[in-house]
Amino acid sequence: MSLPRGFRDYFPEEFEILEFIRDKFVRRCTLYGFRLMEPSTLESLEVLEAKSGPSIREEIYFFRDKGGRDVGLRFDLTVGLTRYACSKRDLPLPIKLASFADVWRYDEPQRARYRWFYQWDVETYGPKGPEADAEIISFTKGMFEDVGLKDVQIKLGDRRMVQKLVEDVTGLKNSKVLELMRMLDKMDKKEKDALIKEYSAKGFSLQQIEEVLKLGVVEGDLNVMLSRFGEGSVPEGLRTLSEILKELEIKFTISIKVVRGLDYYTSYVFEVFDGSNLELGALAGGGRYDILPSIFGRPEIGATGIAGGVERLILALRQKKFSLLQLPTIYVAYIRGLEKEAFKLVEELRNYGFRAIVDVSRRSLSKQLEEADRIGSLCSILILPSEFKEEKVIVKDMRKKFEVKVEVKRLVDFLKDHI
Ligand code: AMP
């Protein structure tokens, strides 16, 4: 009866937080004008390979369907959204899309890494300038604030800048430079000595490796980059992006070692962490990937966006003893024979927006009150024959503050005043 490796059921405690996050996400999308949609769960393998080539097969679920077509489950939302945006030639630019849905990856399962998980995702298609990227980052910061994470760290990188710096310090070009940029990406995961060993074996000199590792530790704001590397090394767009973010009072660091997928990102890259819980890994990641629209036949449009892992966010929130502000619960308890009356009253309370729970297990009155306590009801309403004859019920405050008889017709007003 066990589940496949890397899969789990979504328990109510987690699913409630997922719905809370979805709600905040949707609200923020509305504020920013990102239109929600969901790309297909299944894509043809060819489309899934567009981003990183056939090597993606190692990381995804793919199979041949009964009609002999090679297909695969979506591993992110970006590919499907981009395919959609590029196929709709009549849509006015910019196309701002958002999605909140599940994805499948053949990742090695571990803490905060699953084979089936949810992502929230916003993408802007059309502009190639940094204003669209600034909006993506501003969205992300707002979204994390909305769910209650105030202490996020935003890291920015710029692939063009890093590439030029690596070329300058090593005298190398093209694929060799890309290899050393991949080393930068590994700096947080591997010790310096291990990297030196690995890259010496690939034929790089100790001096080249050490120079690149020295670059990798540089972090700071725009001024740090300008003074360390000089005006000419910082692309104009990165400068504008930094200036807009500064004006919006968004804290961020530019980091040389943040490069992410090199086959894919063309300039800016973003990563977001929970500042008080760095071990969780990135809560969100993204960047500018103008290359994908051109693979899908629209070289004239730019693309930038970000995707966040919902389960990681749930873990981060749960570690902060996050609790959802739930609707107060009212428990309606009754003596056998008064079922009709109890169900009518419960319906009325629900129609007024109260969360009302009624016994459906034919329990005794005392067992019903135990249940009311167990589920954390704020108050119980007791329907008893003698009181009900007088059209009254007993309202019992579960925190033992009061127990009063209330006329049925006044009950809703009474609860509104006292709950
Ligand atoms: P990516 O699409 O790889 O850039 O990932 C975007 C975000 O999704 C990451 O920052 C994580 O928060 C989350 N994520 C990626 N892979 C997994 C996974 N296997 N399990 C859970 N969350 C993940």
List, for residues 329-370, the tens digit of each pLDDT value: 999 999 999 999 999 999 999 999 899 999 999 999 999 999
Atom of ligand 1 nearest to the CA of 78: 2
Across 93-129, b (16+ Cβ under 10 Å) vs e yields: ebbbbbbbbebbbbeeeeebebbbbbbbbbbbbbbbe
Residue 267 Cα to ligand 1 midpoint, Å, equals 20
Residue 283 Cα to ligand 1 midpoint, Å, equals 7
Per-residue model confidence as pLDDT tens digits over 367-385: 999 999 998 899 999 999 9
- The continuous run of DSSP H or E covering 346 comes out as helix 339-351
Q: Quote the CA–CA distance of 175 and 172 in Å, as a whole number.
A: 9
Q: Which of 58, 81, 288, 312 to mutate to test the pocket of ligand 1 (most atoms within 8 A of CB)?
A: 312
pTM of the model: 0.90
User: What integer best gives the mean pLDDT of the chain?
Assistant: 94
| 111 has pLDDT over 80 | yes
| 51 has pLDDT over 90 | no
- The continuous run of DSSP H or E covering 190 comes out as none
| 400 has pLDDT over 80 | no
Residue 75 Cα to ligand 1 midpoint, Å, equals 10
Q: Residue of the nearest CA to atom 10 in ligand 1?
A: 284
Euclidean distance between the first and the last CA atom of the chain, given in angstroms as a whole number: 44
What whole-number percentage of the chain has pLDDT above 70? Answer: 99
Residue 308 Cα to ligand 1 midpoint, Å, equals 7
Mean pLDDT of all residues in 316-321: 86
Atom of ligand 1 nearest to the CA of 272: 10
Locate 73 and state its tokens. Answer: 């489950």
Q: Which of 8, 60, 113, 149 to mutate to test the pocket of ligand 1 (most atoms within 8 A of CB)?
A: 113
Q: What is the pLDDT of residue 80?
A: 97
| 181 has pLDDT over 90 | yes
Q: Which of 128, 95, 144, 164 is nearest to 240 (CA)?
A: 128
Q: Ligand 1 — pocket residues by CB below 6 A?
A: 76, 105, 107, 112-114, 117, 119, 282-285, 307-309, 311-312
- Band (125; pLDDT cuts 50, 70, 90): very high
| 326 has pLDDT over 70 | no
Q: What is the pLDDT of residue 199?
A: 95
Q: Residue of the nearest CA to atom 20 in ligand 1?
A: 113
| 112 has pLDDT over 90 | no
Residue 119 Cα to ligand 1 midpoint, Å, equals 7
Residue 131 Cα to ligand 1 midpoint, Å, equals 25
Q: Residue of the nearest CA to atom 22 in ligand 1?
A: 309
| 263 has pLDDT over 90 | no
